[in-house]
Structure 1
Amino acid sequence: MAKIERLAHIGVHVRDMDRSLAFYRDVLGLQVTDDDSAHGMVFLSSRPEVEHHEVLLCGGRTVGEEELWLQQISFRCPTLEDVLEYYARFLEHGVRIEYTVTHGNAIGVYFFDPDGNRCEVYWPTGLKAKQGYLEALDFTRPAAELVEQVRLSVAEHGEDGYVDTRLLSGIDVGSEGS
Structure 2
Amino acid sequence: MNTHAGSTRPKVAELGHVGIRCFDVAKQLDFYTGVLGLVVTDHDADLGNYFLSARPDDEHHELLLTKGRDVAVGGRLIQQISFRCESFEDVVGLYRRLKEYGTKFDMIVSHGNAIGVYFFDPEGNRTEVYWRTGLVARQPFIETIDIETPPDRLMDAIRASVAKYGASGFTEESYLRWTREQARPADDDTKGRK
In structure 2, the residue matched to 1:51 is: none
The 1:67/1:96 distance shift into structure 2, 3 A limit, reads: closer
Which structure has the greater CA radius of gyration? 2
CA drift of 1:140 comes to 2.0
Aligned equivalents of 1:98, 1:168: Cα separation in 2: 14
Aligned equivalents of 1:133, 1:102: Cα separation in 2: 7
In structure 2, the residue matched to 1:142 is: 150
Amino acid at match of 1:124: R
Aligned equivalents of 1:70, 1:76: Cα separation in 2: 18
Q: Does 1:95 align with 2:99?
A: no
In structure 2, the residue matched to 1:113 is: 121
Q: Which residue of the other structure, out of 148, 156, 170, is the alignment partner of 1:162?
A: 170
CA drift of 1:169 comes to 3.8
SS at 2:128's partner residue?
Answer: strand
Aligned length: 110
Alignment of 1:58-97 (within 5 A): 68-97=76-105
Unaligned runs of 5+ in 2: 1-8, 14-73, 179-194
CA drift of 1:30 comes to 6.3
Amino acid at match of 1:98: D
Under a length normalisation based on structure 1, what TM-score does the superposition of the two structures give? 0.57
SS at 1:70's partner residue?
Answer: coil
Aligned equivalents of 1:158, 1:103: Cα separation in 2: 9
Aligned equivalents of 2:94, 2:153: Cα separation in 1: 18
Q: Give the % identical residues.
A: 45
Q: Deviations over 1:75-134 (max 9, x none)?
A: 000000110111111111100011110110000100000010000000000111000110
Q: Deviations over 1:50-74 (max 9, x none)?
A: xxxxxxxxxxxxxxxx863411000
Aligned equivalents of 1:136, 1:153: Cα separation in 2: 11
Q: Check whether the contact 1:73–1:120 (CA below 8 A) recurs between aligned residues.
A: yes
CA drift of 1:168 comes to 4.3
Pick the structure with more strand per residue.
1
Q: Does 1:128 align with 2:116?
A: no
Which of the pair has the greater relative contact order for Cα pairs under 8 Å at 6+ separation? Answer: 1
Aligned equivalents of 2:125, 2:75: Cα separation in 1: 13
Indicate the RMSD between aligned Cα atoms, in angstroms.
Answer: 2.1
Under a length normalisation based on structure 2, what TM-score does the superposition of the two structures give? 0.52
